[in-house]
A and B are shown apart, each in its own frame.
Chain A
């Protein structure tokens, strides 16, 4: 579904991402975790085709992002941490717009379902600046789901959501994975990652320092037996500082 090989991104002299490789299969939810400035967002933005990596290869659904960007992006959705929306399009118009971009022929049928799923029905005619932070986040998520992408990239997806919306959004993410989407979820909320993700990719100073199921990571360190992801994360980050 998503294959990243030797991804490196350099800003001026700073190596933000250094030789990162990972693979995400259909139906898998992978947590991308790491301290601030570790390179998580740069990795996600590179996979989304927003940034051009200096070296490395990214494949989405078997399409090389560099050689065949249109086909690769067709099956991809990126939900950024700060919802980026057009000021002058209403909620429903955003979905119609994104639907057309991805050529969703049954968009008129999907839009009401999505609005209902993300509790945006009564806000359908509102503009982004009339929405709360949480509503804007829900709209950004809806825009990412309209075309049923096979690869979903979430950067801090639950920011600004109320407890009820957090629960429903978690359900939505799980449901999309069950439908066969490969999902990358970057978050500082480690309990969320622990709850949702089947596998972790831990990144620090642009490099992957650990990868695997949480139980496997814990089993590699007997002293952390019975501890949660937070302890594992802190121990590994400390070790590589």
Chain B
């Protein structure tokens, strides 16, 4: 908290925090204090209905693949001081559990506020959420300790925890059997109503009730209809919490090695975030043994090498698996729309419209997420400045990299959307208009994206503190920074488009609306827009050449 307050003295940080709070107030304010709160209880009911299932899946995941570092990671300083110190292992565990309580209590208050329409008072809501989160944390810690025990003591470690393992084994077997049998029944459901009915029937089976009972007991206080029901439900949840605490403290596992390792890796991730090395932050590993998607000849313009590097970077991160995954999700969504709307043509219209609007919206949102430019090379500015490449060429290719990437993503979405609309009901046969629209987008989008990306890179060079260091914002200030970044993108696009649109409009007013004048006006507007992009890049290039790198780094 002291660090947070001291950081607030920096104007950029304070503004980001304010923007973050403003965003929360705009989103959460109406939910918490607005007159129409009818949506929230329904949403909360859906969340609570699915929560036992989600908790069960999460628990199974930790037991099967959680490893022995989860939930008990020590920071490098803790590992250096506490592990060699004469402190009992159980005290070290208690310390880690208590430390985790700081964020658990914070999250409990936050999520307690998120259930506005609950009939139980706020303190009891917060207590309910705290119980759930504490049980979840302790369960993860316990599964980590069992993994540690098995990892370090082998068969003896497994034997030591045989009771917990047998219980888990039985629960997992029953859960899998339920999933398989439910899958067979769900497949035979012909309509949406039949599907819902099948879900309800499966959830009412004794095996399902038994498997989900512990999760329901923990979650019941959250859905209590009144205070007396809450008072009846909470003791059972609290008992489960106490049992988990005793289980963790009594588990005899040398967890320190795993905790130190987890802490080290977490510290590396934080350092990577601070240096702006986004790829090191992601959970997926970027692999270097795959060839770059386009070759780089040894001679030619040096700046092309920077473009090559940036495109290799974005291509390596967008792994084939994630593209396939996204395609599967989108196809699933399309099928879902077709079922709901009972028509493939209507689904094509709806989905096409979603793709077109998302593609357009990316002009505003894209610069925050597509960052293969100077923002990603933030930690490498020293090295970039030592290369024999002029400032203007450097900025041109850096801005160009992210503008090209974003344009390709947008054109992909717009093309897919246009094709879908052509197969829909509303715009069937309007292929000429679609083609013209796509052609206009192909000419316009690179220039608009060039302007918005240039504004982001300008912010890095002139106001580095205002530019988020990585895509995933951390905390309220991270969210605020993203808001400010988006605002900058919108402002630069609006300001940049003003003169070209004004010029094209003036031409059209003088010449009248006809095909030839429209083409001439469009070309004039586009020419002015591209002129603006070139001017901004030249000015930024000069700024890059005159830069003192410490100014561009925090």
Contact = CB atoms under 8 A, between A and B. Distances in A.
A103 B382 contact: no
B383 A84 contact: yes
Given A48-B386, A87-B280, A103 B299 contact: yes
B287 A127 contact: yes
B299 A50 contact: no
Contact of A73 (B289, B297, B386, B546): B386
Interface stretch (B250-258, B304-312, B520-528): B304-312
A93 B302 contact: no
A84 B380 contact: yes
Interface stretch (A74-82, A184-192, A216-224): A74-82
Interface in B491-528: none
A84 B99 CA distance: 35
Contacts, number: 110
Interface in B353-382: 377, 379-380, 382
Interface string B308-321: 11001100110000
Interface residues of A, number: 42
Contacts of B299: 100, 103-105
Interface string A142-179: 00000000000000000000000000000000000000
Contacts of A98: 305
Contacts of A127: 286-288
A22 B272 CA distance: 37
Interface stretch (B6-14, B79-87, B387-395, B468-476): B387-395
A86 B288 contact: no
A51 B309 contact: no
Contacts of B302: 100-103
Interface in A86-122: 86-91, 93, 96-108
A100 B312 CA distance: 15
A175 B94 CA distance: 59
A97 B549 contact: no
B312 A93 contact: yes
A105 B297 CA distance: 9
A2 to B, nearest CB: 14
Interface in A4-19: 11
A45 interface: yes
A240 B299 CA distance: 50
Counting chain B CB atoms within 10 Å of each CB, which of A50, A51, A76, A99 scores highest?
A50
Contacts of B42: none
Given A52-B548, A100-B305, A89 B382 contact: no
Contacts of A107: 298
B462 to A, nearest CB: 16
Nearest to A123: B288
Contacts of A80: 382-383
A74 B389 CA distance: 9
A125 B382 contact: no
A89 B386 contact: no
B292 interface: yes
A38 B377 CA distance: 28
Given A87-B277, A88-B312, A97 B296 contact: yes
A197 to B, nearest CB: 22
Contact of A89 (B272, B309, B379, B387): B309
A88 B316 contact: yes
A86 B380 contact: yes
B274 interface: no
Nearest to B297: A100
B388 A93 contact: no
A97 B298 contact: no
B550 interface: yes
B279 interface: yes
Contact of B386 (A78, A86, A87, A104): A78
Given A97-B305, A100-B299, A127-B287, A87 B279 contact: yes
B206 interface: no
A11 B550 contact: yes
Contact of A86 (B292, B313, B547): B313
A48 B385 CA distance: 8
B388 A96 contact: no
A89 B312 contact: yes
Nearest to A110: B298
A230 interface: no
Contacts of B298: 96, 99-100, 103-108
B183 interface: no
A129 B279 CA distance: 10
Interface in B290-346: 292, 296-300, 302, 304-306, 308-309, 312-313, 316-317
A234 interface: no
Contacts of A52: 546-548
A118 to B, nearest CB: 17
A235 interface: no
Given A88-B279, A129-B280, A100 B382 contact: no
B383 A96 contact: no
A3 interface: no
A133 interface: no
Interface string A34-62: 00000000000100111110000000000
A100 B387 contact: no
A90 B548 CA distance: 29
A97 B406 CA distance: 23
A97 B386 CA distance: 14
A101 B380 contact: no
A125 B288 contact: yes
A108 to B, nearest CB: 6
Contacts of B279: 87-88
Given A80-B383, A90-B289, A127-B286, A70 B389 contact: yes
B288 A90 contact: yes
Contact of A50 (B296, B312, B382, B390): B382
Contacts of A48: 385-386
A107 B296 CA distance: 11
Nearest to A75: B388
A23 B22 CA distance: 58
Given A73-B386, A88-B279, A51 B288 contact: no
A168 B554 CA distance: 36
A121 B287 CA distance: 17
17 contacts: A48-B385, A50-B386, A86-B309, A86-B313, A88-B286, A88-B288, A88-B316, A91-B288, A93-B288, A93-B312, A100-B296, A100-B300, A100-B305, A102-B302, A106-B298, A108-B298, A127-B287
**Shortest 4 CB-CB distances between A and B: which pairs?**
A90-B288, A100-B305, A73-B388, A125-B289
Given A69-B545, A84-B380, A97-B309, 18 more contacts: A71-B388, A78-B383, A87-B286, A88-B286, A88-B317, A89-B288, A90-B288, A91-B288, A93-B288, A97-B308, A100-B299, A100-B300, A100-B305, A102-B388, A103-B300, A104-B298, A127-B286, A127-B287
Interface of A: 11, 45, 48-52, 69-74, 76, 78, 80, 84, 86-91, 93, 96-108, 125-127, 129-130
Interface of B: 272, 277-280, 286-289, 292, 296-300, 302, 304-306, 308-309, 312-313, 316-317, 377, 379-380, 382-383, 385-390, 545-550
